[in-house]
Amino acid sequence: MRGSLLPWAAAAAVVCLLGRLMALGTAGTGEALQVHIICFNFETVRVTWNVSEPSGENLTFFYTFDSGEAYGQCTHYILRRGLTAGCILDFQDQVLHFSIRNATHALFTHSQWASFYLKPGAPRNLSFQWQQEKVAVTCPGLAHGGLLYEVQLRSNFDAAWQSKEEETCNVHIEGLDAEKCYCLRARVKTTEAAYGPDSYPGDWSEVSCWYGGLPSDLCPDVPISPGFPRFILICSLVALLTLCLVLLSLWKLGRVRNLLVPTVPDPKSSFSGLFEQHQGNFQEWMKDAQNVAHLPRTGSGGGELDCGPEEALVVQVAKTATALDSLSRSSEEGQPPGGCSQLFRRPPQSGPVVSLGGFEFVMSDGSYVML
Amino acid sequence: TFSDVLLFVLSDFFRKIFILQLAGLVLTYNFTDCDFEKIKQKYQKTIYNDLKEYMNGAKSTQFNSTVSCNNKSDCLAEIERLTFSAPRGCAPLAREAFALRTRATFALQCPGYSRTQTNNTQAAKKTKEREITTKKCLEQVSQLLGLWGRFCRTLWKR
């Protein structure tokens, strides 16, 4: 009797098993379906699908969190171009059994822990307690284990964020500088041991900046870090020095050019003191030269005075012709011409007197000296 | 008579059922008194790596999860059942690294656990050598990963 019961029990089990398979359906062949699951912050689960060859028909989504209960249809579909493309359902930390079906059969069936697709939300109500060189970042943690609360901070001297993680939303960071401005942000991360390999890191909170323990709108721009490369500094100095040398050589080159190809003759050598003492005023120079170059009263050995080469001087006098006539008449009367200085001993009547080669000339406005 | 025979058979049947159920109660450990936090830490640090190594690159999410649990004790009970059971198509996993560490962790963190496992330990010694990892074995271990994850999520600090 006992042995006859076993075949009946086996037959009943097979029937039940087949029924369950028919209810669940099997993965369809011929219609590739890409399914994407994401669980938002333990609140909602979004299941979306993408048909590689759209047939234009609406697919239906059936699911349950209890393997012992029958599947129920989705009540909140996501539509794309008028056709169902996903479903949003409430989260439960249980195995999600679901099936995506068309009018005739199930195209996709799967069962998996909904938490394995978790994406935590950004931490809310962050609070910061500053104590000189430390800060404690706290927030209401999520009521689920296996999470990490990450806080990142960066000062205006740091190029990258520094991270610290704790298992609770109570992260203490020490070793800070009270004189620096710090910006902080936080997020929730999942551990693979508790949430599997397909979960997502949470979103970052808003960045909060602090200076001296007080909130600041933002930290100043990141200045050049103290560790400014010495190489760049040296290169800058070398470049500056090179530029100076180039400019110096260009200036020197100009002097060399002027030396080789002078554009204007330099009269300094011919008239000593004309520019240095008289600033180019030739008439003043002439006065000075007259005072300096005096004629000796007795020549050496009673010889005739050297009045200079007459052929080098051309003196043209316009208004003093009568003086010359009288001078020539007096010389014809027998007065010896001895000494140039004797010929022009008459005091000047008007204007300056120019003495050249022993001769003295009274200069007027209309007279000039050409050399 | 036929009714006497039926009564005899059924009573014998139900008596055996009762005995088996009783034996199950005796051999099943109650995990309510365990140090769950330390078990969780041990899992995160060592047992998880052993399970991942056994999976050898296969993702647990590619298999259907068919076993679930609700609370800490329930999860540990399911973990123990799957770790030391021998499903069809897969040799017993009791000699695997993750199983040995699981047993040691339970023995250390659950008062009285080791005494209930004496007979089971003797039975494990008689098992065959590890066979080639089959898909069934990977599916079994993926169930364990799901249960352990659920166990971790039930433990959170305020």
A104 and A131 in a common domain: no
Which residue of B153, B155, B156 to mutate against A (max A Cβ within 10 Å)?
A: B153
To the nearest whole angstrom, how far is the Cα of B122 from the nearest Cα of chain A?
Answer: 31
Averaged over B115-144, what is the pLDDT?
Answer: 65
A112 and A134 in a common domain: no
Task: Write out pLDDT tens, residues B102-123.
Answer: 999 999 999 999 866 654 544 4
- Give the CATH number for residue A8: 2.60.40.10
Neighbours of A101 (CB within 10 A): 19
Give me chain A's average pLDDT, please: 78
Predicted TM-score of the model (pTM) = 0.62
Interior/surface letters A33-56, b for 16+ CB within 10 angstroms, e for the rest:
eeeebbbbbbeebbbbbebeeeee
A177 and A152 in a common domain: yes
Q: Which of A163, A191, A216 is the last residue of a domain?
A: A216
Q: Look at A141 and B66 and tell me if their CB atoms are within 8 Å.
A: no
A105 and A46 in a common domain: yes
Q: Look at B157 and A1 and tell me if their CB atoms are within 8 Å.
A: no
Q: Which of A184, A216, A248 is the last residue of a domain?
A: A216
Averaged over A256-266, what is the pLDDT?
Answer: 72
pLDDT, position A338 = 45
Q: Which two tokens stand for residue A192?
A: 């693979």
Q: For A28, what's the count of Cα atoms within 13 Å in the CB-facing half-sphere?
A: 18
8 A C-beta contact, residue A67 and residue A81: no
pLDDT at residue A166 greater than cutoff 90: yes
A135 and A47 in a common domain: no
d(CA A123, CA A187): 6
Q: Look at A113 and B152 and tell me if their CB atoms are within 8 Å.
A: no
Establish if A304 belongs to a structural domain: yes
Chain B residues lying within 8 Å of A47, measured CB to CB: none
Q: Which two tokens stand for residue A268?
A: 């300094």
Domain that holds residue A39: 2-118
In the chain, the amino acid numbered B47 is: I
pLDDT, position B11 = 84
Q: Which of A116-120, A256-260, B101-105, B115-119 has the lowest mean pLDDT?
A: B115-119
Establish if A240 belongs to a structural domain: no
Confidence of residue A228 (pLDDT cuts 50, 70, 90): low
Q: Look at A196 and B6 and tell me if their CB atoms are within 8 Å.
A: no
A109 and A11 in a common domain: yes
A163 and A132 in a common domain: yes
Establish if A277 belongs to a structural domain: no
Q: Which of A41-55, A64-78, A343-357 has the lowest mean pLDDT?
A: A343-357
Averaged over B4-9, what is the pLDDT?
Answer: 85
Establish if A184 belongs to a structural domain: yes
Of B73 and A159, the structure prediction assigns the larger pLDDT to B73
Establish if A236 belongs to a structural domain: no
Establish if A221 belongs to a structural domain: no
pLDDT, position A22 = 34
A86 and A15 in a common domain: yes
Of A286 and B22, the structure prediction assigns the larger pLDDT to A286
Q: Look at B157 and A113 and tell me if their CB atoms are within 8 Å.
A: no
Task: Write out pLDDT tens, residues A200-223.
Answer: 999 999 999 999 888 988 777 655
A91 and A27 in a common domain: yes
Beta bridge pairs of residue B47: none
Interface of B with A in 24-63 (CB under 8 A): 40, 43-44, 48, 59-61
Long-range contacts of A12-19 (CB under 8 A, 24+ apart): none
A81 and A186 in a common domain: no
Q: Look at A198 and B148 and tell me if their CB atoms are within 8 Å.
A: no
Averaged over A332-337, what is the pLDDT?
Answer: 46
Query: In chain A, how many domains are there?
Result: 3
Pairing mode of beta strands A83-90, A33-40: unpaired
Which residue of B7, B36, B65, B148 to mutate against A (max A Cβ within 10 Å)?
A: B65
A78 and A137 in a common domain: no
Averaged over B57-66, what is the pLDDT?
Answer: 92
A108 and A17 in a common domain: yes
**Nearest CB partner across the interface for B157, out of A168, A194, A195:** A168
pLDDT, position A186 = 97
pLDDT, position B143 = 96
Establish if A227 belongs to a structural domain: no
ipTM for the complex shown: 0.79
pLDDT, position A293 = 62
Q: Look at A145 and B152 and tell me if their CB atoms are within 8 Å.
A: yes
Q: Which residues neighbour A73 within 8 Å (Cβ) at sequence distance 6 or greater?
A: A60, A61, A62
pLDDT at residue B51 greater than cutoff 80: yes
pLDDT at residue A77 greater than cutoff 70: yes
Give percent of chain A above pLDDT 90: 44
To the nearest whole angstrom, how far is the Cα of A157 from the nearest Cα of chain B?
Answer: 35
d(CA B144, CA B67): 9
d(CA B1, CA A358): 184
Q: Which of A176, A201, A216 is the last residue of a domain?
A: A216
Establish if A268 belongs to a structural domain: no
pLDDT at residue A337 greater than cutoff 80: no
